[in-house]
Amino acid sequence: MSFIEVSDLRKSYGGRPVVDGVSFAVEEGEIFGILGPNGAGKTTTVECVEGLRVPDAGRVRVTGLDPVADHARVARVLGAQLQESELQAKLTVREALQLYAAFHERPADWRPLAERLGLTDRLDARFGKLSGGQKQRLFIALALIGNPRIVVLDELTTGLDPRARRDTWELIEEVRAGGVTVLLVTHFMEEAQRLCDRIAVIDKGRIAALDTPAGLIQRSAGATVISFTPSAPLDEHDLNALPALASAEHKDGRLTLSGTDATVNAVITLLARRHVTAHQLRVVDATLDDAFLDLTQEATA
């Protein structure tokens, strides 16, 4: 049994479908990512998983439980950091951590958690006086304080500076190493590529693709890009005959080709055969950004 099962999930607002037939499963111990443009239906999907919204149709199960009908039981195994949250402005960080720890039968020790998230020197600060990044780190701590088996993180590192973001990534990797399953909603491609075992790309309420980060990158129109300035022009017929060529662009005397490793090997062979030198040669693998743009453009087309 998968830890999270979503089957043909549908949710509309004012007659407009926001989630339109989404299906996926998250396995135990996995970091499963959800990517998508703004308004794609990502947050609505995870709010149905958390039991915060009632689906119009479809089936959602968390460790075999209905998150709406069995909400209290699901809350014992699932922690959540919401995209937008607030606490009472006068509540201190220490009071918030102690309060949330009291909600759980076997809470985590909040002190090392606060230290790991850089909150130790802010324990006596009131919530209303915290910066946006400090609030975000506090909500991550509150999501983890109940020792959940599953944690849902919606826009995990929004508002964090680059150093705090990377520290948080290390924390999530430690959390997963401790046996926690993670459902991560993000718009940071680097974050998804580093953390996620598999990713569902949602666009306009539907899943445009579901694969590993490497698998999604392989789907990109040009998984590898080679660029150089040739010492002499290359014949267009030779270029168009290159295997797995996705695109070819000439600009200011520089040639940029996208394709696969087979394309790169064929280009090198072609240059040698034609006695052409490649000046300022660059070979770059496609990124998750490239795959995301290709997938969402295809869904829009």
Instruction: Summarize pLDDT for 112-143 with one digit per residue, the tens.
Output: 999 988 899 999 999 999 988 888 889 989 99
Chain-centre distance for alpha carbon 189: 7
Is the pLDDT confidence value at 287 over 80? no
Q: Is the confidence at residue 299, as pLDDT, over 60?
A: no
Calculate what percentage of the chain has a pLDDT beyond 90: 67
> Lowest mean pLDDT: which of 10-14, 138-142, 160-164?
160-164
pLDDT of 190: 86
Query: Residue 221 has what pLDDT?
Result: 57
Average pLDDT, integer, range 102-119: 91
Ramachandran bin of 261, using left for φ above 0, alpha for ψ from -120 to 50, beta for the remaining angles: alpha
Provide the angle, in degrees to the nearest 10, between the axes of the packed helices 93-102 and 132-144.
20
Contact 62, 49 (CB under 8 A): yes
pLDDT at residue 242, rounded to an integer: 95
Backbone angles phi, psi at 296, to 5 degrees: -75, -30
| Contact between residue 84 and residue 139 where contact means Cβ atoms under 8 Å apart | no
**pLDDT value of position 189:** 85
Q: How many CB atoms lie within 10 A of CB 107?
A: 17
66 burial type by CB count under 10 A (0-12 exposed, 13-18 middle, 19+ buried): middle
H or E, element range at 131: none
Q: Tell me how many helices (H) and strands (E) the chain has.
A: 11, 13
| pLDDT bracket for residue 297 (50, 70, 90) | low
pLDDT tens sequence across 76-91: 999 998 877 889 999 9
The CA distance from 222 to 108, in Å, is 46
Model confidence band, residue 277 (pLDDT cutoffs 50, 70, 90): very high
Separation in Å, CA 220 to CA 33, 166, 216: 18, 26, 7
Cα distance between the two ends of the chain: 36
2-28: average pLDDT: 95
- The per-residue pLDDT for 7 is 97
Average pLDDT, the chain: 90
- By residue count, the chain amounts to 301
- According to DSSP, the β-strands at 150-154 and 181-185 are parallel
Would the pLDDT of 260 be above 60?
Answer: yes
Query: How far apart are alpha carbons 189 and 291 in whole angstroms?
Result: 10
pLDDT band at 239 (very low <50, low <70, confident <90, very high): very high
* Beta partners for residue 206, in sequence order: 203
Q: Is the per-residue pLDDT at 301 higher than 60?
A: no
Model confidence over 175-228: pLDDT tens digits?
Answer: 899 899 999 998 888 899 999 999 999 999 999 999 998 888 777 655 788 999
The DSSP code sequence of 176-220 is HHTT-EEEEE-S-HHHHHHH-SEEEEEETTEEEEEE-HHHHHHTS
* Contact by Cβ (8 Å): 169, 191: yes
Closest to 6 measured CA to CA, from 188, 147, 207, 175: 207
SS3 260: coil
d(CA 17, CA 248): 39
